[in-house]
Amino acid sequence: MKQSRPEVFKFGGVAVGNAEAIRIALAHVRRAAPNVAVVVSAMNGITDLLLDAGQAALRRDRGRCEDAAVELEARHMLLVAELIASKHRAEEITGVILDSVREMRSMMESIAVLEELTPRAQDVLVARGERAVARIFTAAAQEVGIDAIYVDAIDIIRTERRLGTLWPNLAKCERAAKKHVLPLLAEGKVVVIPGYIASGPDGSLVTLGRGGSDFSAAIVARSVGARALTLYKEVDGLMTADPKSVPAARVIADLHYREAAELAYYGAKVLHPRTMIPLVDRRIPLYVRNSFHGTSAGTRIAGDVKPGAYPVKALTAIHRQALVSIEGKGMIGVPGVAGRAFTALSQAGHSVSMISQASSESSICFVVPEGEADHAVAALEQAFDSERKLHLIDRIDAEKRVALIAVVGLGMRGTSGIAARTFSAIAAAGVNIVAIAQGSSELNITVAVAESDATRALLALHAEYQLHKIRPLADTTGREA
């Protein structure tokens, strides 16, 4: 018999953050089982705690190291106490936790003695957050009669180095899942996998970057040929805007993969920006749902979503940015200024989130995080030292307290006048636009405004595009048939 396509669930840090949250998570799993694979994050706060412990060890702050070890042990042992009643399981899992804490202590001691914290040591240190939760989740599932089994991510998520960053080798991941996951699912087991961690090119343990367990879950979903991936979080889905700034913000019922990627890239923190990548060509739909609101349908993200009635679907804001500009009449017609500026900034370690150039070519501006602005200006001053001496470039400076607002929607492509509507809505709210850029994807328009104007601009745009009228998904199961 052909195996039917499994489902993949991922539970975020808050959704596994205490015993009650894990009970709720287990209820979601039980409803869907069998044929479910589960990816879990570390408990909320634990990754930060472990990263901080590494730094404390490096500073030889032994008091802080010890506090971290004690807290790691306490939070996990509390889960064991509350979720695992049977003696043999509790003993086994307690042993796992205590080993992990013991290893953490000796790692911190070596870091302190060697006065060195390598990326590899840091990865091994933080990996225990996800591993501990996955172990406890597995045992707690067994405790309530779910036939669960732990499979380590190092055996299934295989990465390679591409252009200096780690990237999953999706073909290898798929082969690994065929070997290590699909047979277990076929036996009716629920497979539980720690998120965030993977194996590196040489087989050693690596991590996928902060918030990376969404990405882990997407890689697993692709690798097992899932019929859907659901990310269970503590929010109802992706929203038309941040409700803290825009009280009328609504959950967006459906988004195209590209819209979701754009939103994630432009600062909507709900989703790791890489999550969509493994799913797109397999057309695996992605749901973002609130683990704690069993009836909320959440957001469905897929490839079959049509532009529909809302050319603009969402707004995001990136705060605390600075606009770095290079100005000078002498730049007109001088080739390569933008390219050199870019190179200088990237060599100085800055990643630029937006560029725009005046059509007169007499100024170019870049947006960088506010905290990097002075350093970025210094790097540019150095790179253009001779032009400055020759007065080809008059000014390099940074305007701080800037926010970037991105207006995102697939329908913008076919709809004329979105840029004009965006600018006039902002102007009508009395907000001055300091710079504009349109992504080449035509899926977004980004404007830079003064930080103090950001909320007013967001409110005006939300009203202009009638985003308070976006309706939730009709069904409440959020599942593919």
User: Which one of ligand ASP, Mg ion, none interacts with residue 42, CB within 5 to 8 A by kind?
Assistant: ligand ASP
Please select the residue that binds ligand ASP; options are 7, 8, 13, 122, rule is CB under 6 A: 13
Select 25 or 315, whichever has its Cβ closest to ligand ASP: 25
Question: Mask: binding to ligand ASP, 77-106, rule CB under 6 A, as x and -?
Answer: ------------------------------
Amino acid at 212: G
Q: Does 196 bind ligand ASP (CB under 6 A)?
A: yes
Which of 225, 397, 408 lies closest to 313 in space, CA to CA?
A: 408
**What does 364-421 look like in DSSP terms, one character per residue?**
EEEEEEGGGHHHHHHHHHHHTHHHHHTTS--EEEEEEEEEEEEEE-GGGTT-TTHHHH
Q: Does 311 bind ligand ASP (CB under 6 A)?
A: no
Please select the residue that binds ligand ASP; options are 6, 211, 273, 278, rule is CB under 6 A: 211
Check if the beta carbon of residue 100 is closer than 8 Å to that of residue 131: yes
Which residue has the closest beta carbon to Mg ion?
13
Select 41 or 363, whichever has its Cβ closest to Mg ion: 41
Question: Mask: binding to ligand ASP, 246-285, rule CB under 6 A, as x and -?
Answer: ----------------------------------------
Q: Does 41 bind ligand ASP (CB under 6 A)?
A: yes
Q: Is 283 buried (19+), middle (13-18) or exposed (0-12) by CB count in 10 A?
A: exposed
Under 8 Å CB-to-CB from 481, ≥6 apart: which residues?
none
End-to-end Cα separation, the chain, in angstroms: 19
Q: For residue 432, give both structure tokens.
A: 């001055």
Amino acid at 225: G
Q: Does 195 bind ligand ASP (CB under 6 A)?
A: yes
Phi, psi of 54 (to 5 degrees): -60, -45
Amino acid at 334: V
Check if the beta carbon of residue 246 is closer than 8 Å to that of residue 321: no
Q: How many CA atoms lie within 13 A of 49 on its CB side?
A: 23
Select 233 or 256, whichever has its Cβ closest to Mg ion: 233
Select 40 or 301, whichever has its Cβ closest to Mg ion: 40
The least distance separating ligand ASP from the CB of residue 25, rounded to whole angstroms, comes to 14
Select 54 or 212, whichever has its Cβ closest to ligand ASP: 212
Select 265 or 465, whichever has its Cβ closest to Mg ion: 265
Spacing of C-alpha 20 from chain mean position: 25
Please select the residue that binds ligand ASP; options are 15, 17, 29, 47, rule is CB under 6 A: 47
Amino acid at 63: G
Please select the residue that binds ligand ASP; options are 14, 37, 38, 42, rule is CB under 6 A: 42
- Write b or e for each residue in 459-479: b if 16 or more Cβ atoms lie within 10 A of its Cβ, otherwise e: bbbbebbebeebebbeeeebb
The least distance separating Mg ion from the CB of residue 39, rounded to whole angstroms, comes to 11
Q: For residue 457, give both structure tokens.
A: 């601009």
Q: Does 194 bind ligand ASP (CB under 6 A)?
A: no
Identify residues 123-142 at the interface with ligand ASP (CB under 6 A).
Answer: 129
Q: Does 169 bind ligand ASP (CB under 6 A)?
A: no
Question: For ligand ASP, which stretch binds (CB under 6 A), given 90-98, 207-215, 403-411, 435-443?
Answer: 207-215
The least distance separating Mg ion from the CB of residue 295, rounded to whole angstroms, comes to 24
Measure the CA dihedral 120/122/125/126, to 10°.
Answer: -110
Residues binding ligand ASP (CB under 6 A): 13, 41-42, 47, 129, 195-196, 210-214
